[in-house]
Amino acid sequence: MSKQLEELKNRLQEVEALSAAASVLGWDQTTFMPPGGAKARGRQLAVVSRIGHEKLTDPMIGRLLDELEREFADLPADSDDAALIRVARRDYDKATRIPADFVSAFNEHQAAAYQAWSSARPENDFKAVEPMLQKTLEFSRELSGFFPGFDHIADPLIDLSDEGMTVEILSDLFQQLRDELVPLVHEIAAAPEIDDSCLKQHFPGDAQLEFGKKVIRDFGYDFERGREDISPHPFTTSFSIGDVRITTRIKENDLTEALFGTLHEAGHGIYEQGIDPAYEGLPLADGTSSGVHESQSRLWENVIGRSKPFWEFYYPELQAVFPAQLNDVSLETFYRAINKVTRSLIRTDADEVTYNLHVMIRFDLEQQLLEGNLNVSDLPEAWDARYQSDLGVQAPDTRDGVLQDVHWFAGRIGGMFQGYTIGNVLSTQFYTAALQDHPEIQDQTAHGSFQVLHSWMKEQIYRHGRKYAALDLIERTTGGLIRAQPYIDYLKMKFGELYGLS
């Protein structure tokens, strides 16, 4: 190995170590830290992040990358070293193109916008955050400008979390989805409503947690290299390939909250635990994009965890945990209840069919704002109009309307939502490819065995970490581009049967 490559690895490992240290501080902050620690923790996190940023943007890394790109120009693209150089270049450019002044001004603004949103949302007061959001839009446009060479102003912002995805690719994909989903939702709304009252009984929290842990252990989540705790918003965080942690939250009057939160985060966790140990401490040891990451949480949560074969095996086990609540509830009733479709106002509560409509509304509004075709002051009306046309519902207030998600108020406008729908689409695209190789997967699911599915995902996706950019990974794994059709087929088949549609 060349001396320069060794030097680059050493430096990147320091950056990763600092980033992992910040993750530990952040994990503790949202799980076990007493409230009195908040102020100091904010300061500690800021210091660790600043040192990490300084180390990553050290001009020496730029010089090493210049030399290595020359020295290793002939390496096959699928060699680990070539991948490391490519990924390190991407991270370095991203970190250096955005001026430090801009980063601190935007961070400060985001903290203020989040504060304003936290009080404006319960007060239903969009006007109170409107000037903040206007400023966020200006920052977002400026951020986009640091990355020239893209076709659309939103493309660099999308690329930050979903490399290679563009407004053009996604608009086409989303249009295909919307053309199928809007009529499907209308058909379902006209069908008899599903009764999900069996899920709304009292279910003691500890028993809920234990059941969820048992299931994800069967999926292949490794508790020797992970743990599950409670936090207000479920998340996954990785400190190393040997320590990937998840959280969930419990509602004792709703069986779905903790369970599906656990299955979802375990999907993210299984991905990170499956990365090749040779990448430990390097920037390759991460998921390759937010959409591919979400494909794994959605695969284990929905494609597997809300499927009939899965519950044929696990429902008797769940009944044994909650006999008083579920012994009189049939498998069919339970399966229908966990898949009930509701035209609701809130994205995070949405079912598999309506979820993507929520995402697309946000995605389109982001483009219109960035393009200057929609004023921030007109956003609430535009929001309501789209909910009316796509979902047939209208929020009685902005709290459950345009103010419901934190993303635009704690982040930026542009590139914040597409990963959720990309993930849903890819979950079935990958699953369909796995089934083609191993048709026995469905039967194994009905016996509580996931080894073949897990191994396939690990071999094709997990172990590579960031080695392949998302579009390359999709091509290698499924032989083409991202495609809406497998997902549309999946939804039509599953929900057509559930709702007795023709």
Of 210, 214, 216, nearest in space to 250 by CA: 210
For residues 208 and 247, which CB has a smaller minimum distance to Zn ion in the complex? 247
CA distances from 102 to 18, 144, 146, 412 (A): 22, 12, 10, 13
Q: Measured between alpha carbons, how far is 61 from 173 in angstroms, rounded to an integer?
A: 38
* Closest separation in Å from C-beta 147 to Zn ion: 25
Question: Closer CB to Zn ion, residue 355 or residue 383?
Answer: 355
Binding segment (CB under 5 A) for Zn ion, from list 25-33, 62-70, 218-226, 292-300: 292-300
Query: Around Cβ 192, how many Cβ atoms within 10 Å?
Result: 7
Examine residue 297 and tell whether it contacts Zn ion (CB under 5 A).
Answer: yes
The amino acid at residue 186 is H
Q: Is the dihedral of CA 27, 31, 32, 33 positive or negative?
A: positive
Q: How far is the CB of 297 from Zn ion (least distance, A)?
A: 4
Nearest-CA neighbor of 274 among 215, 211, 219, 355? 219
Q: In terms of CB distance, is 196 or 301 closer to Zn ion? A: 301
Could you give the angle at the alpha carbon of 482 between the alpha carbons of 477 and 488, nearest 5°? 110
User: Rule CB under 5 A: is residue 418 a binding residue for Zn ion?
Assistant: no
Please state the closest distance from residue 289 (CB atom) to Zn ion, in A.
Answer: 12
Tokens, residue 389: 């046309």
> Based on CB atoms, which residue is closest to Zn ion, 211 or 420?
420
Count of chain residues binding Zn ion (CB under 5 A)? 1
Contact 258, 250 (CB under 8 A): yes
Which window, 88-96, 248-256, 291-299, 482-490, contacts Zn ion (CB under 5 A)? Answer: 291-299
Q: Comparing C-alpha atoms, which of 335, 337, 363, 352 is closest to residue 428? A: 352
Minimum Å distance from CB 62 to Zn ion? 33
Active-site option among 228, 265, 272, 301: 265
Using the minimum distance from each CB to Zn ion, give the nearer residue, 72 or 235. 235
265 as an active site residue: the answer is yes
How far from the centroid of its chain's Cα atoms is residue 397's Cα? 27
Stretch that binds Zn ion, among 171-179, 294-302, 443-451, 464-472 (CB under 5 A): 294-302
Distance CA 471, CA 227 (A): 31
Q: Which stretch binds Zn ion (CB under 5 A): 74-82, 91-99, 110-118, 290-298?
A: 290-298
User: Are 434 and 302 spatial neighbours (Cβ–Cβ below 8 Å)?
Assistant: no
For tokens 């709702």, what's the residue? Answer: 499
Q: Which of residues 398 and 429 has its CB atom nearest to Zn ion in the complex?
A: 429
Q: How far is the CB of 419 from Zn ion (least distance, A)?
A: 8
- Report which residue's Cβ sits closest to Zn ion: 297
If binding is defined by CB under 5 A, does position 238 make contact with Zn ion? no
Going by the DSSP 8-state scheme, the letter that residue 304 receives in this structure is I
- The nearest distance, CB 303 to Zn ion, in angstroms, is 14
What is the set of active-site residues?
Answer: 265
Q: Which residues bind Zn ion (CB under 5 A)?
A: 297
